[in-house]
Amino acid sequence: MATPLTASTLLKVLRDEGLHVVEHRSWRTHNRNHKGPWGPMHGVMIHHTVTSGTQNSVDICYNGHSSLPGPLCHGVIAKDGSVHLVGNGRANHAGLGDDEVLRAVINEAALPTDNEANTDGNRHFYGFECVNMGDGKDPWPAAQLEAIEKASAAICRAHGWSYRSVIGHKEWQPGKIDPRGFTMDAMRTRIKERLTGKPSGPSKPPAPKPPVKFEPFPGTAFFRDGRKSPIVTAMGKRLVAEGCGRYEVGPSPDWSDADRKSYAAWQRKLGYSGSDADGIPGKTSWDKLKVPNV
């Protein structure tokens, strides 16, 4: 039996999971507790709003409407991944559902098909409405899916539940289709991986690579008959990459006539001519070739 999280605890566990959480109006005391009990808690239920726009969706979920007073959930998950808290306590989101589904959630077992509406779900489930038209065309951005994963995992972690404690509205109440656009099995897999320390959402960006270092110009005298150096090989590879290679075999560490012809082609590519394109490297053309350190 799980006691409902307090408003402060709910806020903390969501933020601890790395979510951007927005507190909407008097959400901490906004509920339907006068209509029935709140708890014990058994799971998390995911919905789509059939609305567009973050503020519009948040306002509707906070206020409700004439036939269904708010709050209509506990949190609204926007397309940018932000979570807007609109209620704490009993909320009009789950309605009546299948008692066998509830037992499966409690036992963390495979879900049966929902074919009855005989059990009060508003009492036992946290609810998140996700901004989406639910028409199968409205996209689910990666940031929003990651936020659903994180919000669900945060509550499961707080209660010691497994990924099997998260269900879709369509798995609870016959006739419902939400959430539409992704499968709950795929979402539960993501939640499982996050709870076991292997989140499937976007990873941290790779550490920046250290800057590439280039060979400084070794001087004109370096390039003479008989010179053998890995610098010559590296230079030849760069000349080939620039489309200036004139090698039948190679390049090799041995400075050769093929290296001279190749470098002359590089000089001409840079706009040099005559004696300025004699195939002997100079500092300006060498620096532009960017031969990596060897």
CATH of the domain at 49: 3.40.80.10
State the average pLDDT over residues 26-32.
98
In a domain, 205, yes or no: no
Cα separation, 212 vs 135, whole angstroms: 50
Residues 266 and 126 in one domain: no
Residues 111 and 238 in one domain: no
pLDDT at residue 20 is higher than 80: yes
Query: Which residue, 155, 178, 195, sits at the end of a domain?
Result: 195
Which pLDDT value is given to residue 250? 80
Which pLDDT value is given to residue 1? 56
Residues 83 and 141 in one domain: yes
In a domain, 63, yes or no: yes
At 288, the pLDDT band (50, 70, 90 cuts) reads: very high
Query: Which residue, 149, 180, 195, sits at the end of a domain?
Result: 195
Which pLDDT value is given to residue 14? 98
| Model pLDDT for residues 94-144, shown as the tens digit of each residue | 999 999 999 999 999 999 999 999 999 999 999 999 999 999 999 999 999
Kindly report the average pLDDT of the chain as a whole number. 94
| Model pLDDT for residues 135-179, shown as the tens digit of each residue | 999 999 999 999 999 999 999 999 999 999 999 999 999 999 999
In a domain, 1, yes or no: no
Amino acid residing at 191: I
Question: Angle formed by the axes of helices 184-195 and 142-159, to 10°?
Answer: 60
Residues 91 and 230 in one domain: no
* Count of the separate structural domains present in the chain: 2
Residues 157 and 39 in one domain: yes
pLDDT at residue 198 is higher than 70: no
Residues 60 and 182 in one domain: yes
Residues 272 and 162 in one domain: no
Which pLDDT value is given to residue 212? 80
Calculate the dihedral angle through the C-alpha atoms of 49, 54, 56, 61, rounding to the nearest 10 degrees: 50
Residues 59 and 167 in one domain: yes
Higher pLDDT, 221 or 207: 221
pLDDT at residue 205 is higher than 70: no
Indicate the burial class of 29 (C-beta count within 10 angstroms; 0-12, 13-18, 19 or more).
exposed
Task: Using alpha carbons only, give the angle 166, 171, 172 rounded to the nearest 5 degrees.
Answer: 90
| Model pLDDT for residues 35-94, shown as the tens digit of each residue | 999 999 999 999 999 999 999 999 999 999 999 999 999 999 999 999 999 999 999 999
In a domain, 36, yes or no: yes
Residues 148 and 267 in one domain: no
173 is in which domain, residue-wise? 7-195
In a domain, 214, yes or no: no
In a domain, 111, yes or no: yes
In a domain, 204, yes or no: no
In a domain, 50, yes or no: yes
> Cα–Cα distances in Å, from 264 out to 219, 221, 222, 258, 283?
16, 16, 16, 10, 14
